[in-house]
Amino acid sequence: MKNYETVLILLWITLPSKGFQSQTVALEIDENRLVDYSSPEWRAPGDSAANLTKGNKSNLQRTVYKKDDQKANSDTSFRRNTFKIDITSHWLYRNALVFSYERVTKPNQSFAISGGYQQFPHVGSFGENIDVDKEKDATGYKIGGEYRFYLKKENKYSAPRGVYLGPYFTYLAFKNGRTIKVDNEGTVEEATLDSKLGVLNIGVQLGYQFVLNDRWTIDLIFVGPSVSNYYANLKLDGNFTFDPEDVQNEILADLIDRFPALEDLLTDKEIDSNGKVNSWAYGYRYQFLIGYHFGRKKK
């Protein structure tokens, strides 16, 4: 996957010092850029940069090979923290503001937590016979957590940059109060609909995170299959003559048509006598976040 080749040149220099001891200077040539591995952060135990001189080079030997196991990023600062804004929630839901915080725990691992406010999308009607007159209130939230393993063999840089894989969970909750008008065989009747919806996702995700100028991040989750639990509670109140279960199931059918992601989950499901439905099914996650990368620089 890499379009570059790293070359190491080992220079054996005979120094004009006591015992004519030899020292080794390792230089990396990577895309026309020279890095001195005799610097303190790269020097092996026992090496001394002070003993490296421009002495006799008559014993110069060269060894050339591909460098496949060196993945560390030696020329950027090491910042452990990233604060992000979830752009996907803003696209999918109304009045959404969800944040995420990622913390690097090891050179190729990190954990992240997320949370924020979001409302269920606005619904003007539920099918042909049910209209939403007004909404009394609309609230909701999202929380989640994940652990990431940044793949060493695929990434040139350390976390939090590059390809990652790991488990995650999210929980979404919505609560809405609406006044609806139901056409009951030509007679319009009014009722109050209180609805609650909860979604729990437990799964595994694959994504890629870009780090720009060692400060800004673009985090993309491409694949995120999950096992999901969907819970819905629809409650009707008021003076009406229609069958509440028929209206509740009509509302559920309209939600399936409006949000196709619910189709596989709720097809052939019906609201029980208490206005509830609870089901497990397979889910899916994709996400787009923009973040700010910060922390103390690596010395």
The domain limits of the chain are 1-70, 81-294
* pLDDT at site 297: 65
Indicate the burial class of 283 (C-beta count within 10 angstroms; 0-12, 13-18, 19 or more). buried
Architecture of the domain made up of 81-294 = Beta Barrel (2.40)
Percent of the chain with pLDDT over 90: 45
Find how far residue 203's CA is from the centre of its chain: 12
DSSP result, 78-113: ---EEEEEEHHHHHHSEEEEEEEEEEEEETTEEEEE
Q: Which tens digit of pLDDT belongs to each residue from 199-237?
A: 999 999 999 999 999 999 999 999 999 999 988 888 899
* pLDDT at site 41: 45
The mean pLDDT of 243-248, rounded to a whole number, is: 86
The mean pLDDT of 70-78, rounded to a whole number, is: 47
Query: Above 90 in pLDDT, residue 276?
Result: no
* pLDDT at site 8: 33
Query: Above 80 in pLDDT, residue 103?
Result: yes
Tell how strand 81-86 and strand 276-283 pair up: unpaired
Query: Above 60 in pLDDT, residue 11?
Result: no
Q: pLDDT category, 252, cuts 50, 70, 90?
A: confident
HSE of 292, CA atoms in CB hemisphere, 13 A = 5
Which position has the higher pLDDT, 66 or 206? 206
Lowest mean pLDDT among 14-18, 92-96, 105-109, 253-257: 14-18
